[in-house]
């Protein structure tokens, strides 16, 4: 089983990610991991912390001669802003953060809760996800994440953009300041962020991750906890400040009749060798997943991030010591972190796909995974050829 855990505090010595069950023989190009870490620090509207940090990952274990060994991999992202011991205790919980709930639950005061629940921890998730992408890369699976709205600025990509290759989409996205696929609306989005910042406020938004060239049959219908849509939802809903996740057309499907909600199955002889194995769909409303299993179509995950709760113009709160009405505490904040969040979503989604690959095709080595993927496709092709489905 491919899994990961993180450790570390926002102003502690650093953030660690322990990746367990990573197959042997995957070339580990740290530039890819560092590239994603640097992207996570970027995007319009980021706060002061990102001018202090230059995130890069060190691999402390599990690598030999530039490739994974099949043993646990410990990634370490050092914090330059290490000052945990000298950070002041806080008594004015910020609504929307874990300040109140965590300090009541753990009896620790706000500081320890804030330090661990900070989105700084997503550096560890991105490092683990980017590592998983090195495995996906070997199987030609690609993930692209982008911002679909900033506050109420709609950045839905044009249909034509979505027919482009993943690298063309990345090129469009990386030329924008908010990491969207709408360069024509980039200025409108940055203006909205500027306006929120000026008002001492913050903005959330919507992000999308698309996974291309996904093999048929990842995940399972057989047990709720192994359904791939459920796992993706867990991974994404667990990102700081995320409040909603949908797969494919998600909530939209609740408002249309069944005749307009599904993806009809057609046969295309010429696409037998594609990931769809010849079963073509004119639409992809299901977002590539039916009954918890991939159907060879691109996976589409969409998620909603609330505005960051740390506000320069703070909300009302109560002092934990005096119980007097006060303004919530403020140290520093990001006016908008939706661009960074799109990088986090992209990488946690990548991790779940890699985990599902390891589960379906065997986990010991890249060579074994490749051979089993080939075997699976060949056995489906044989069944299609001779029509033998054991019926
Ligand atoms: C973040 C680092 C944090 C915050 C932000 C995200 O650094 P600091 O607390 O030193 O400013 O800037 O976290 C939040 C606003 C939050 O709500 O968690 C990062 O590296 O992503």
Q: Which of 308, 355, 387, 342 is nearest to 23 (CA)?
A: 355
In a domain, 197, yes or no: yes
Total number of domains constituting the chain? 1
Structure tokens at 37: 């870490």
pTM exceeds cut of 0.95: yes
Query: Quick one: pLDDT at residue 257?
Result: 98
Q: Are 217 and 376 in contact (CB under 8 A)?
A: yes
For a ligand 1 pocket test, name from 95, 119, 125, 340 the mutation site with the most ligand atoms within 8 angstroms of its C-beta: 119
Helix (H/G/I), strand (E/B), else coil: 379:
helix
333 in contact with ligand 1, CB cutoff 6 A = yes
In a domain, 342, yes or no: yes
Nearest CA to ligand 1 atom 10: 49
Tens of pLDDT, residues 282-313? 999 999 999 999 999 999 999 999 999 999 99
Nearest CA to ligand 1 atom 20: 120
Residue 1: which residues within 8 A CB-CB, separation 6 or more?
20, 21, 355, 358, 359, 363
- Give the Å distance between the CA of 120 and the centre of ligand 1: 5
Q: Are 69 and 63 in contact (CB under 8 A)?
A: yes
Query: Quick one: pLDDT at residue 10?
Result: 98
**Residue 139: count of CB within 10 angstroms of its CB:** 18
- Give the Å distance between the CA of 109 and the centre of ligand 1: 19
Tens of pLDDT, residues 204-257? 999 999 999 999 999 999 999 999 999 999 999 999 999 999 999 999 999 999
Nearest CA to ligand 1 atom 5: 119
Tens of pLDDT, residues 328-371? 999 889 999 999 999 999 999 999 999 999 999 987 999 999 99
354: domain range?
3-386
The overall average pLDDT reported for the chain is: 97
202 in contact with ligand 1, CB cutoff 6 A = no
Residue 391 has pLDDT above 80, yes or no: no
User: CA–CA separation, 200 vs 315, rounded Å?
Assistant: 11
Q: Which atom of ligand 1 is nearest to the CA of 332?
A: 11
Q: Which atom of ligand 1 is nearest to the CA of 308?
A: 17
Tens of pLDDT, residues 180-211? 999 999 999 999 999 999 999 999 999 999 99
Query: Quick one: pLDDT at residue 165?
Result: 98
Strands (E), the chain: 3-8, 14-20, 57-59, 63-64, 67-68, 73-78, 142-150, 153-154, 205-212, 242-247, 266-267, 279-280, 289-290, 293-294, 299-305, 316-318, 325-327
Q: Which of 42, 8, 29 is nearest to 136 (CA)?
A: 29
In a domain, 136, yes or no: yes
- Give the Å distance between the CA of 295 and the centre of ligand 1: 38
Residues in the chain: 391
Q: Which of 57, 89, 90, 88 is nearest to 73 (CA)?
A: 57
Point out which residues pair with 219 in neighbouring strands: 293
Residue 270 has pLDDT above 80, yes or no: yes
Residue 274 has pLDDT above 80, yes or no: yes
In a domain, 42, yes or no: yes
In a domain, 164, yes or no: yes
Nearest CA to ligand 1 atom 13: 119
Query: Quick one: pLDDT at residue 390?
Result: 78
Nearest CA to ligand 1 atom 15: 333
Structure tokens at 32: 């890819």
In a domain, 391, yes or no: no
Q: Residue 275 maps to which CATH number?
A: 3.60.150.10
Nearest CA to ligand 1 atom 7: 49
User: CA–CA separation, 324 vs 338, rounded Å?
Assistant: 34
294 in contact with ligand 1, CB cutoff 6 A = no
- Give the Å distance between the CA of 314 and the centre of ligand 1: 16
CA-to-CA dists, residue 102 to 88, 106, 111, 318, angstroms: 17, 6, 10, 15
pLDDT band for 389, please (50, 70, 90 cuts).
confident
**Portion of the chain with pLDDT greater than 90, in percent:** 97
332 in contact with ligand 1, CB cutoff 6 A = yes
DSSP 307-334: PPS--SSPPEEE-TTT--EEEPP-S---
In a domain, 232, yes or no: yes
- Give the Å distance between the CA of 118 and the centre of ligand 1: 6
Q: Which atom of ligand 1 is nearest to the CA of 48?
A: 11
In a domain, 67, yes or no: yes
Of the two residues 390 and 68, the one the predictor is more confident about is: 68
């Amino acid at each position: 089983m491919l899994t990961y855990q993180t450790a570390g505090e926002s102003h502690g010595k650093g953030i660690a990610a322990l990746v367990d069950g990573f197959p042997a023989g995957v070339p580990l190009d740290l530039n890819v991991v560092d590239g994603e870490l640097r992207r996570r620090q970027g995007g319009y509207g980021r706060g002061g912390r990102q001018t202090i940090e230059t995130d890069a990952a060190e691999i402390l274990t599990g690598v030999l001669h530039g490739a994974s060994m099949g043993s646990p991999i410990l990634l370490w992202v050092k914090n330059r802003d290490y000052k945990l011991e000298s950070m002041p205790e806080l008594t004015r919980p910020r609504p929307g953060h874990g300040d109140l709930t965590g300090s009541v639950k753990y009896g620790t005061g706000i500081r320890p809760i804030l330090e661990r629940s900070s989105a700084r921890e997503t550096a560890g998730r991105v490092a683990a996800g980017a590592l998983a992408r090195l495995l996906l890369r070997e199987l030609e699976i690609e993930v692209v994440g982008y911002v679909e709205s900033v506050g109420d600025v709609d950045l839905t990509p044009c249909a034509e953009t979505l027919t482009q290759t993943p690298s063309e989409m990345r090129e469009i996205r990386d030329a924008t300041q908010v990491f969207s696929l709408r360069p024509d609306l980039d200025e409108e989005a940055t203006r909205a962020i500027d306006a929120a910042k000026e008002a001492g406020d913050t903005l959330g938004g919507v992000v999308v991750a698309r996974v291309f060239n996904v093999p048929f049959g990842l995940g399972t219908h057989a047990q709720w906890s192994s359904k791939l849509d459920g796992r993706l939802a867990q991974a994404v809903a667990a990102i700081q400040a995320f409040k909603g996740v949908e797969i494919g057309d998600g909530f939209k499907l609740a408002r249309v009749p069944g005749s307009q909600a599904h993806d009809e199955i057609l046969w295309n002889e010429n696409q037998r060798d594609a990931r769809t194995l010849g079963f073509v769909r004119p639409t992809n409303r299901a977002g590539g997943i039916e009954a918890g299993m991939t159907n060879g179509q691109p996976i589409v995950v969409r998620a909603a991030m609330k505005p960051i709760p740390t506000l320069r113009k703070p909300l009302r709160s109560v002092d934990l010591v005096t119980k007097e009405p006060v303004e919530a505490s403020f140290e520093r904040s990001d006016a908008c972190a939706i661009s960074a969040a799109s990088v986090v979503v992209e990488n946690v989604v990548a991790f779940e796909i890699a985990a599902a690959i390891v589960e379906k095709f065997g986990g010991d080595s890249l060579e074994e995974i490749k051979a089993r993927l080939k075997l699976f496709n060949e056995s489906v092709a044989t069944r299609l050829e001779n029509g033998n489905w054991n019926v």
